[in-house]
Chains A and B, each alone.
Chain A
Amino acid sequence: MKLRMWFLTLCLTASMAAAAQDMPLFRWENFTTEDGLPDNHVFCVLVDGNRVWAGTENGLGLYENGAWKIFRPKDGLVHQAVLSLAVDERTGDLWVGTMGGLSRISAGRIDNFTQLNSGLSNDIVYGVGVLGDFVWTATAAGASRLNTRTGQWALFNERNTPMYEIWTYAVSPAEDKVYYAVWGGGVLEYDTRTERWKDYNDPDGETEMVLMKDQGLIHEITTSVSYVDKILWVATYFGASRYDGRYWHNFLQKDSGLPSNFLNQIKAVDANRAWFSTDKGLAYYDGTNWAVYRPALDTHKPEMLVRDAEGRVTSVPVKTAPAHNYILGVSFQGDDIWVATAKGLSHGVRTQSAAVTAKAGDAMQKK
């Protein structure tokens, strides 16, 4: 009997250690205004090869060759508060959504599009994405699409889509679909082949209760969408959702490794893996296990927690953490990750050998 117990304990410990070892481990380097960042309130981050763009409350920062360059209105940017970023992989042009319009940065030239000088629906551009020749924007007054070849704008709102709430908050165009997170209005899907719109809503309605889990979108207040490998991931202020075209799966703090139900961004790696930007840390889900990276909520010391499939949580000793718990977005640079936080930009440098020693004593069953 003792032998069996010992064996079970060994297996348990081994599986928890394995889960911890499988999760990415980072050495975090944090940037603030002292390092040249335009502002510590970082709304978004985008990696473009060796260049890292950080959209902040007071300017757009470009980190290249170890130095920061700042773009503000005096440099030609349409507005200083940068909310969203997207790069056209084919041309290298950067599209910048701001609180005062949309800018295109092309090899140093900045062209600005506003609701006054162009067909852009609204100057508050929460989200921007590029698909082929089209630039899609999520604005405070619906969606706009610019055809970069013809210069023609198309607007999508309550008049021509199922968008009953026009506060579009994020956009994710990929392959043949364009998904919109509509703040208070669920998710909208645009099929580029049929040119038809379809909406996805919370079957519970607008309540904050989850009456029908895994039967639809977790909540109407959506903040981010990510469409990768034909899988739709959705972030809301009340949890996250994954949709494979037939089945929904919802993630809540109470039954997943999410550190909070309040999500600012979701960024999928592939069909099974995704990163979650929450108000209580950065979370990663590999399809089975979860990891959370943050300064500890109480001590503010660097913390990494790993939760395995059985719900057991392991604390992994780490010496560094992202700049702040309040995470607004991420972008990948090979195995590295860049993280926008409320108090600086963080660079997670992936450590190659994850010689993680999970202490069995640290393991605890999450209640």
Chain B
Amino acid sequence: MRRLKLAVQVVPIVAMILAAVMVKPPSSRAEMQRERYLSPLEMTLSLDGSRLYVVCEGTDELRVVDTKSATVVAHVPVGHQPRGIVISPDGHELFVTNSWDDTVSVIETVSLKVVQALPTGSEPTGVVTDRNGHTLYVANRLDGDISVIDLATGHETKRLLAGPGASYLALSPDGKWIYCTHIYPNAGAVRTQPNSEITVIDTSRQVVVERKQLHNVAGVFHVALSADGKLGVAAQLRPKNLIPLAHVEHGWVFGDSLTLFGQDVSGTIQIPLDELDRYYALPWGVVISPDKSKIFVTTAGSQSVSVVDVAKLMKSVRSHPQSFANDLSASADYVLARIPVGHNPRGVLVSQDGKRLYVANRLDDDITVIDTTRNEVISKIDLGGPKTVNALRRGEQIFYTADYAFQGQFGCSNCHLDATIDGLEWDLEPDGFGKDIVDNRLLEDLAGTEPFKWNGGNPDMPTECGPRVEKYFFRSQSFNPGQLTDVVSFIFSLPYRPNRHRLPNDELSAAQERGKAIFERTKFKNGKTIPEGNRCSTCHSGPKYTNRQQMDVGTGKATDRSPLIDVPQLPNVAYSAPYLHDGSARSLEEIWTVFNPKDTHGISNDLTKDELNDLIEYLKTL
């Protein structure tokens, strides 16, 4: 019996080690064969409902579906990584955001020709027009703002400040207001609960007039209004990042929830979608039925659509004078159904008559059609993607699902939203409250940046994603060796996003050139030689600007078990705030103005403010 117990304890450990040893990540993205999957993300319907326009992020195109025959009737090439779509009020034009080109493609619905490319801010995502179709509003994810574009001239007239990671927009039915959500939290004090907002724009004045505060929320996705305009709903995450993540089995790490707002409720109310022993991870797309009887929410990590009964929800809201966002028993009162759909369901819309629900399964290249009366899947529309699922796609499906975590609580993409970051600092390991706080890091082009973790404890990605994830994150036996190989392959396949700080010809501006000289300098300003270990370019060396060593640069905190910090890679560092291993530097400037008093993290105290600004301008180009 004792041997059996021992075997039960030892076998999983051996399996984890074997998995780590057996998985050999590809050394570069070039070795991988990447099928061009469609990755349908968002949709809109023609005004008569006869055509469904589907944004395909993976193939840079719009696919046009005849809703009667459920077949694809046209492909329209657009820009790179399209993300959002809206149809003009008269139905004559479609506007598609191209997140890697920083443009909006204008498409005529009759000819299906792209007739214009409108410039926007960085990483345009959500898009809406005003009610008369004169003005286009575009949420720019990287800039955290909203471009206001005059459609008569095609010129961007101004930018409106939104939340970091501004992504999704909704126009109120009366056309008076536009609501914007954002996927990264607002900047706040270190080690405090994250907060987000719903930014409200007055369309008559084209200015922000309100910011609805969402407390303890980081990651807000689709936002929708009821037909009468009295009920608004946004899908969101409530992270519990201030306590050790290992407490997953004691409660939850993320609360999957909705924020309600509008006349039907008082202020903003957060309501849970999860159940006591089952989670519905990453609520993303949301829509309200035309008769306001139901709310449909795609749960991108749980391959399902949650159906909320609005009447029961309102009754539940009224019966809870206090916030019940953390009461996981509450959802039983108003969630009518959980409808299984495909992998990573994202965009969702309901037909004008309210009878059909369309769900974009991003990682299956199809559209699930649901009968909203019976809450049942009635068909799937094949968008014509590759018929085989290769290792990368399998890995991507694993990355985006929460199925491997205890009670389906969360997956990789909960923290790495759209394979980026979440803007949070986490207390990951069961080493005590507030110990070894770590900032989230970018996953772009990771090959050659090993080891991983901020303390460099994981020599390779299979270790990072295998035993570590099982033990500290998911608290369940997660990936088998094949799955681990796939997810590691997917992670290594993630490319850099375009860097907007570089000039088009890859030359450096005058300020960037000056900053480069500071980054590479070997002498103090007084002419003396800077010790090699104190030069920027010593530790941040090589093609990824990391020497892959662990260094004590004086940024360790009393709560860290070791002052040795893995030297991070620097490409696209501009897009990964906050900074330092624990996220204590809220901006690049603070790395040196606040956390480098003794010149242990490079020599910076002899720099003027101009020179520090130049250095930062250069770093942003990497």
Write the residues of chain A forming the contact surface with B, with a CB cutoff of 8 angstroms: 90-93, 104, 106-109, 111, 115-119, 121-122, 133, 141, 148-150, 152-155, 157, 159
Contacts and interface: CB of A to CB of B under 8 A. Distances in A.
Contacts of B590: 116-117
B586 to A, nearest CB: 6
Contact of A152 (B200, B207, B617): B617
B616 interface: yes
B503 interface: no
Given A93-B161, A159-B610, A117 B208 contact: no
Contact of B609 (A91, A108, A149, A155): A155
21 contacts: A91-B207, A91-B208, A92-B209, A93-B161, A106-B211, A107-B207, A107-B208, A107-B211, A108-B211, A109-B186, A109-B211, A111-B161, A111-B187, A117-B589, A117-B593, A118-B589, A121-B609, A122-B609, A149-B143, A149-B159, A152-B617
A149 B140 CA distance: 11
A92 B205 CA distance: 9
B319 interface: no
A152 B143 CA distance: 12
Max chain B CB contacts within 10 Å: which of A107, A116, A117, A121? A107
Contacts of A109: 161, 186, 197, 211
Interface string B182-225: 00001100000000010110000101111100000000000000
Interface in B566-602: 586-587, 589-590, 593-594
A159 B613 CA distance: 14
B231 interface: no
A106 B609 contact: no
B158 interface: yes
Nearest to B207: A92
B467 interface: no
A356 to B, nearest CB: 39
Contacts of B610: 121, 155, 157, 159
A115 B609 contact: yes
B160 A91 contact: yes
Given A106-B211, A119-B609, 9 more contacts: A90-B157, A91-B208, A92-B209, A109-B161, A111-B187, A115-B593, A117-B590, A119-B589, A150-B501
Max chain B CB contacts within 10 Å: which of A90, A91, A157? A91
B121 interface: yes
Contacts of A121: 609-610
Contacts of A91: 158-161, 207-208
Nearest to A132: B158
Max chain A CB contacts within 10 Å: which of B121, B586, B593, B609? B609
Contacts of A157: 610
Contact of A108 (B121, B210, B589): B210
A351 B373 CA distance: 67
Interface string B148-185: 00000000011111000000000000000000000000
A148 B199 CA distance: 18
Contacts of A133: 159
A91 B590 CA distance: 28
Contacts of A93: 161
A189 to B, nearest CB: 21
Contacts of B207: 90-92, 107
A104 to B, nearest CB: 8
Contacts of A111: 161, 187
A243 B587 CA distance: 42
A141 B610 CA distance: 11
A168 to B, nearest CB: 14
Contacts of B616: 119
Contacts of A115: 593, 609
A141 B609 contact: yes
Interface in B603-619: 609-610, 613, 616-617
The 3 closest A-B pairs by CB, nearest first: A92-B207, A116-B593, A107-B208
B510 to A, nearest CB: 10
Contacts of B209: 92, 107
B586 A148 contact: no
Nearest to B121: A149
A148 B186 contact: no
A151 to B, nearest CB: 8
Contact of A118 (B145, B160, B587): B587
Nearest to B200: A107
Contacts of B589: 116-119
Contacts of B199: 107
B525 to A, nearest CB: 14
A152 B594 CA distance: 20
A260 B343 CA distance: 76
Max chain B CB contacts within 10 Å: which of A119, A141, A157? A119
Contacts of A108: 210-211
Max chain B CB contacts within 10 Å: which of A122, A133, A155? A155
Nearest to B210: A107
Interface in B102-158: 121, 143, 145, 157-158
A93 B205 CA distance: 13
A117 B161 CA distance: 19
A37 to B, nearest CB: 25
Contacts of B511: 154
Contacts of B121: 149
Max chain A CB contacts within 10 Å: which of B210, B500, B590, B610? B610
A188 B248 CA distance: 61
Contacts of A104: 161
B446 to A, nearest CB: 26
A107 B213 CA distance: 12
Contacts of B613: 119, 153, 155
Nearest to A116: B593
A104 B159 CA distance: 14
Contacts of B157: 90
Contacts of A150: 500-501
Nearest to B593: A116
Contact of A148 (B159, B197, B200, B211): B159
